[in-house]
Amino acid sequence: MEQFTRNELTFDVTDVGPSEAEAIVLLHGYPQSSASWRSVFPGLTAAGYRALAPDQRGYSPGARPVGRRAYVMSELVADVLALADQAGIDRFHVVGHDWGGAVAWALGTDHPDRLRTLTVLSTPHPGAFLRSTVTSSQALRSWYMGLFQIPRVPEWLSLVGDGRVALSSMRRSGLSEERAHEYLARMREPGAITGALNWYRAIPFEAAAIREAQPVTVPTLYVWSTKDVALGRKAAELTGHYVSGPYRLEILEGVSHWIPEEAPDAVVRLVLDHVRR
């Protein structure tokens, strides 16, 4: 499977491993792509699992709709379900990082019947994140989310001067030079940076849904890393309060926000242990 479609949008997808095996859907974050899982795929497929990683809405060249309302969480979740349906998968394991983690949390809340297990890297539960903004330094860590609400300016800042601002930000937060240039190249494609930023610009439409969300009942693994400059410990510690099913928190010492790229062996080990329980 190389592509799937939904509402006239065409998404690129990496699909590796036995087609009849249990499926693990991997969801990337900002400003990444399915390539963020490149070093994770071999360990999952060697263990006998099918791994599917889409380039999500705003990232696939054929799926960059205009307007921030096209990027509300219900649309992002529906894209993942369309992938599963067209891949012939009823229930699947989901692993999400960064914004992909937010989509994974929403799947766990709204569609627990479709999930076998839930694994989230870096991203705390949305309720825990909101609570941490008034009980810790999380609001200061998240200053860029306010900047991203401004039309056009963040696009210019990200790409001006051959993308030096974006490259510097990614490198300072722990991403390798090679991966930073790879992700910047994707953001330079027509409509890509605006599509990626529209995930942030849709946040104002989500507050009510976050407040009303029920606890997650799906078996959940949450992985947080101590050198994450964007997401702090308080939100990580609060996340367990929003899961009523089996829950496990794992902390990776000395690892940056970019967990799939920096610690793929740890990701494979933790995910396999979780999905086999």
Q: Give me the CATH number covering residue 48.
A: 3.40.50.1820
How far is it, in rounded angstroms, from Cα 113 to Cα 124? 22
What domain count does the chain have? 1
How far is it, in rounded angstroms, from Cα 142 to Cα 234? 13
User: Is 233 in a helix, a strand, or coil?
Assistant: helix
How far is it, in rounded angstroms, from Cα 206 to Cα 159? 28
User: Residue 243: what pLDDT?
Assistant: 97
How far is it, in rounded angstroms, from Cα 131 to Cα 220? 20
The yes-or-no answer on residue 257 being catalytic is: yes
Amino acid (1-letter code) at residue 232:
G
How far is it, in rounded angstroms, from Cα 224 to Cα 244? 19
Of 188, 154, 195, 198, nearest to 63 by C-alpha is 195
- CA-CA distances (angstroms) from residue 179 to 32, 38, 271? 9, 11, 23
Are residues 260 and 121 in contact, defined by beta-carbon separation less than 8 angstroms?
yes
Q: Which DSSP state fits 216?
A: B
Measure the N-to-C terminal CA separation of the chain; round to a whole number of Å: 28
Q: Which of 200, 222, 242, 247 is the catalytic position?
A: 200
Residues 105, 273, 239: CA angle, nearest 5 degrees: 30
Tokens of 212: 């009303």
Of 106, 64, 80, 72, nearest to 196 by C-alpha is 64
Place of tokens 């889409």: 54
Show pLDDT as tens, one digit a residue, over the chain (277 residues).
Answer: 999 999 999 999 999 999 999 999 999 999 999 999 999 999 999 999 999 999 999 999 999 999 999 999 999 999 999 999 999 999 999 999 999 999 999 999 999 999 999 999 999 999 999 999 999 999 999 999 999 999 999 999 999 988 999 999 999 999 999 999 999 999 999 999 999 999 999 999 987 777 777 899 999 999 999 999 999 999 999 999 999 999 999 999 999 999 999 999 999 999 999 999 8
pTM across the whole model? 0.97
Are residues 208 and 130 in contact, defined by beta-carbon separation less than 8 angstroms?
no
Helix, strand, coil share (%) of the chain residues, nearest 5: 50, 20, 30
Residues 6+ apart with CB under 8 A from 67: 198
DSSP 97-126: ETHHHHHHHHHHHH-GGGEEEEEEESPPPH
User: Residue 179: what pLDDT?
Assistant: 97
Q: Which of 28, 125, 257, 274 is the catalytic position?
A: 257
User: Residue 172: what pLDDT?
Assistant: 95
User: Residue 239: what pLDDT?
Assistant: 97
Q: Which of 12, 15, 79, 98 is the catalytic position?
A: 98
Residues 209, 94, 98: CA angle, nearest 5 degrees: 65
Amino acid (1-letter code) at residue 88:
G
How far is it, in rounded angstroms, from Cα 192 to Cα 58? 6
Domain that holds residue 101: 3-275
Tokens of 135: 């009980």
User: Residue 209: what pLDDT?
Assistant: 77
